[in-house]
Amino acid sequence: MEPRRKYWTQASAWATTVGKAQYARGMLKAAEAFKEDTGREDRLAEVMCAACWYFRVNGQVAGAAMTSYSCALCGEERHWGSTNTPVICSGCATAHALCVQCGGDIHLNAARTDWPVPRVHQASQVHQG
């Protein structure tokens, strides 16, 4: 198999440069908001870690369709307004201080030792790092 031929023009170079510059400015703005945690109240109300809250716009693609998902902790089936479904339901996320979107610690504390054990998986499958 041969890769598809890539084309380059001055116009495509200009458009790429403008797009990458806008992306970089957006990432810097998001990094500053992350550093200052400017949306902390709203973020915690949505049960999300700072990484998912501030950087979710840059890189997430989802379809606008009602989608069913199962919570990775309790296994309860839920419905979500897009195809970018959460990992954990808000009830489990709140009870265990986890991010609904990624399932990580809501305060980004990797040193915590009280990680919950999912009811839907065997304990042997849980990483105990």
Band (4; pLDDT cuts 50, 70, 90): confident
Q: Give the span between the Cα atoms of 102 and 107, in whole angstroms.
A: 12
Q: Any idea what the Cα angle at residue 105 is, between residues 101 and 109, rounded to 5°?
A: 145
98 close to 44: Cβ distance less than 8 angstroms: no
Residue spans of the domains in the chain: they are 10-125
Evaluate if residue 66 carries a pLDDT over 90: no
Q: Where is pLDDT greater, at 63 or 1?
A: 1
34 close to 55: Cβ distance less than 8 angstroms: yes
- Residues 84-124: tens digit of each pLDDT: 888 999 999 999 999 999 999 999 999 999 999 888 664 44
Reading the block at residue 55, the tokens are: 């950087």
The pTM for the full model equals 0.75
- Predicted confidence at residue 3, as pLDDT, reads 82
35-74 exposure pattern, b = at least 16 Cβ within 10 A, e = fewer: eeeebeeebbeebbbbebbbbeeeeeeeeeeeeebebbbb
Band (6; pLDDT cuts 50, 70, 90): confident
